[in-house]
Structure 1
Amino acid sequence: MATLLTGALLALGMTADASAGAERVSRTLARPVMTQSQDSYNRDIRVHNQTGWTMTYFYAASAGTDDWGTDLLGSGTLAPGDSMVVTADNGSGACRYDFRAEFDNGEALRRNGINVCQVADYYFTR
């Protein structure tokens, strides 16, 4: 029974310590899993904010469209000098995406035709 519990906890990224008759469960933080689409192209891209402004919204849309969809920052922001990994995969099979970033000072920057199937890092500059 203990082996089964230990195996289940490890599968969930957790460990158990049964010393002194008390069971303690701790969770370890895992690294983000990089995803790959069905066509085997990895569309994960690390976006670097090198503008000097705080990024408040970030969008990725298939190249040539103005349907920006959901803000990929969610409720967060991206401070100057910071970076984050986003997945640009809307299920269309497209590799070329347009990026739009909005900043706390009201500025908005758009970058067109980024090939997310070939580029692993994108640096947003002014």
Structure 2
Amino acid sequence: MRRLALALLTFAATPVMAEDLEFVLINNSSLKLVEMYVSPHEAEDWGENILSVASVDPGTEGTISIADGATVCDYDMRFVMENGNDVSGTQNLCELATFTLHD
């Protein structure tokens, strides 16, 4: 079973301390992304799947907006792929411009 590795491409971005956070998610893996969860690092649970589409096909990208009203920058992110495997990690979303999923 293959495990997904996350590669992070961070481009120059103005740090955001506002309530809305935004970054481009690129699915550069060979699998469809079927669920995505984002929660403040201190949160106890993941909350709901934030994808507004059924899946994100390999080779596609889209803008992810986090408008939760929180004033934090560190968020836990969890990605669930079509084969059921998932990967998670913590990221400073105030400084993130692009996040890329890889095999």
> Which TM-score bucket, shorter chain as reference?
0.7 to 0.9
> C-alpha offsets along residues 20-69 of structure 1, whole Å, 9 cap, x if unaligned?
xxxxxxxxxxxxxxxxx8x4365101111122110000111111434211
Letter in 1 for 2:101: F
Letter in 2 for 1:118: E
Q: Secondary structure at the match of 2:35?
A: strand
Pair 1:124-2:92 in alignment: no
- Aligned-residue offset at 1:97: 0.8
Q: So what's the TM-score if we normalise by structure 1?
A: 0.61
Q: Which residue of 2 aligns with 1:62?
A: 40
In the TM superposition, what are the counterparts of 1:6-25 in structure 2 within 5 Å? none
Q: Distance in 1 between matches of 2:95 and 2:64?
A: 14
Q: Distance in 1 between matches of 2:18 and 2:76?
A: 21
Contact 2:29/2:58 (<8 A) preserved = yes
Percent identity between the aligned chains? 20
Query: Could you list the runs of 5+ residues in structure 1 that have no partner in the other structure?
Result: 1-36
> Which of structures 1 and 2 has the bigger CA Rg?
1
Structure in which a larger fraction of residues adopt helix:
1
Matching residue within 87, 93, 96 for 1:109: 87
Matching residue within 62, 78, 95 for 1:84: 62
Letter in 1 for 2:26: H
Query: Could you list the runs of 5+ residues in structure 2 that have no partner in the other structure?
Result: 1-15
How many residues align structurally?
88
Q: Distance in 1 between matches of 2:78 and 2:44?
A: 10
RMSD: 2.0
Q: Distance in 2 between matches of 1:83 and 1:40?
A: 24
> C-alpha offsets along residues 73-114 of structure 1, whole Å, 9 cap, x if unaligned?
1342101111111112422211111110111111111121x1
Contact 1:41/1:117 (<8 A) preserved = no
